[in-house]
C-alpha cells in the first residue's frame, strides 16, 4: 500500500500547498508581483531543467522529481495569470446582454495570452521529454492543463459555485465571464471522461506486474486527477470549498486595509507579448458582475 499511498499523500500536499501559495501571493500588494514573477520564473526554469534531467531515469526518486518539475512548470501558468501579467488583450467584461458565441469570443480574448502561454509550455514540455521513458512530468502538466481548461469552460457555461472570491481585485473584469446556474451540459461530459481515465490509472497502478516507477507515477497522476474531479464537483455542490485555503485567502483582507498600493511595474522584456496588469476603473468594475441564469 505504501507504493501507492505515499505518492498520493505527496500529491495531496503539493496540490494543497501550491494552490494556497498562489492565492496568498496574488493577494499581496501589487508592487510585490515583480518579485513573485521573478521567483516563479526561476522555478519554471528549474522545472524545465529537472524535467529534461530526469527524462531518462525511471527510478522512484526520479518519478517524484519529474512530478514536482511538471507541477513547478504549471505553477508559472497560475502565478502569471493571477498576478495579471499574462491574461489577454481584453481588460473589460462583456456588455450587458452579451451571450452565445460573442460572449465566448470575448472570454477567449480576455484570456488569449494565457491560453497561448499554456499551449507553448505544453509543447516545450513534450519536446524536452520526447521519446524518453519517464513521462510523469509531462503527464503532470497535461493533467493540470486539461482540468484547468475544463474548469474554465464550466464556469463560463455556468455552474452553481463560481468561487469568484479567488479572483483578485486586479482581475475583477474576469467576473463578467462567469455564469451562475445549477449545471451545464459540458460538466457531466468532462467529469465522466476524467473519471474513466482515473479508473484506468487506478487499475494499472494496482496491477502487481507494474514497475515501481510506473506505480508511483500512476498513483501521483491518479491522485492529481482525482483531486481535480473533486474540484469540479465542488463547482455544483453546496459545500464551502474555498475554506480549504482560508488562511491564504486572508492575505487579501490583511493587505487591503493598508491603503492604496503603488502601481505594478511593467513586465520585463523577457515576457514578450504579455500585457501589463490593468485594473479596471470604477465604471468598468461596476459592470463586471457574475451572470446569473435561472434553472
> 37: domain range?
2-271
Give the integer Cα–Cα distance in Å for 33 and 280: 18
Please answer whether residues 86 and 44 qualify as being in contact, where contact means their C-beta atoms are separated by less than 8 angstroms: no
Q: Is residue 78 included in any domain, yes or no? A: yes
User: pLDDT at residue 269 above 80?
Assistant: no
Domain total in the chain: 1
Average pLDDT, the chain: 84
Q: What is the pLDDT of residues 93-120, one digit of tens each?
A: 887 778 888 989 999 999 999 999 999 9
Which residue, 43, 53, 52, 35, is CA-closest to 73? 43
Please answer whether residues 252 and 27 qualify as being in contact, where contact means their C-beta atoms are separated by less than 8 angstroms: yes
- CB-count exposure of residue 88 (10 Å: 0-12, 13-18, 19+): buried
pLDDT score, position 27 = 82
pLDDT band at 133, cuts 50/70/90? Answer: very high
Which residue, 160, 145, 153, 179, is CA-closest to 240? 160
Q: Is residue 290 included in any domain, yes or no? A: no
Question: Please, what is the angle between helix 33-54 and helix 112-129, to 10°?
Answer: 30
Please answer whether residues 89 and 160 qualify as being in contact, where contact means their C-beta atoms are separated by less than 8 angstroms: no
Q: Is residue 286 included in any domain, yes or no? A: no
pLDDT score, position 256 = 55
Amino acid at each position: 500500500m505504501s507504493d501507492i499511498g505515499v505518492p498520493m499523500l505527496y500529491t495531496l500536499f503539493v496540490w494543497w500547498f501550491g494552490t494556497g501559495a498562489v492565492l496568498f501571493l496574488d493577494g499581496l500588494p501589487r508592487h510585490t508581483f515583480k518579485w513573485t514573477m521573478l521567483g516563479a520564473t526561476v522555478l519554471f526554469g528549474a522545472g524545465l531543467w529537472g524535467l529534461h534531467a530526469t527524462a531518462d531515469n525511471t527510478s522512484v526518486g526520479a518519478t517524484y522529481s519529474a512530478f514536482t518539475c511538471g507541477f513547478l512548470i504549471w505553477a508559472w501558468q497560475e502565478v502569471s495569470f493571477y498576478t495579471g501579467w499574462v491574461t489577454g488583450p481584453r481588460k473589460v467584461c462583456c456588455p450587458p446582454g452579451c451571450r452565445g458565441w460573442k460572449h465566448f469570443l470575448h472570454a477567449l480574448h480576455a484570456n488569449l495570452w494565457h491560453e497561448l502561454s499554456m499551449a507553448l509550455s505544453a509543447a516545450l514540455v513534450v519536446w524536452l521529454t520526447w521519446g524518453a521513458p519517464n513521462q510523469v512530468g509531462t503527464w503532470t502538466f497535461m493533467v493540470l492543463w486539461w482540468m484547468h481548461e475544463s474548469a474554465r469552460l464550466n464556469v463560463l457555461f455556468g455552474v452553481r459555485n463560481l468561487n469568484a472570491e479567488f479572483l483578485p481585485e486586479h482581475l475583477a473584469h474576469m467576473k463578467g465571464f462567469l455564469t451562475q446556474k445549477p449545471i451545464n451540459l459540458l460538466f457531466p461530459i468532462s467529469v465522466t471522461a476524467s473519471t474513466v481515465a482515473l479508473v484506468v490509472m487506478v487499475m494499472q497502478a494496482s496491477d502487481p506486474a507494474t514497475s515501481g516507477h510506473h506505480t508511483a507515477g500512476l498513483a501521483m497522476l491518479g491522485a492529481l486527477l482525482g483531486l481535480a474531479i473533486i474540484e469540479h464537483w465542488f463547482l455544483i455542490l453546496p459545500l464551502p470549498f474555498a475554506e480549504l485555503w482560508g488562511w491564504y485567502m486572508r492575505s487579501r483582507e490583511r493587505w487591503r486595509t493598508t491603503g492604496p498600493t503603488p502601481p505594478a511595474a511593467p513586465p520585463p522584456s523577457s515576457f514578450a507579448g504579455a500585457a501589463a496588469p490593468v485594473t479596471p476603473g470604477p465604471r468598468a468594475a461596476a459592470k463586471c458582475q457574475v451572470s446569473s441564469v435561472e434553472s
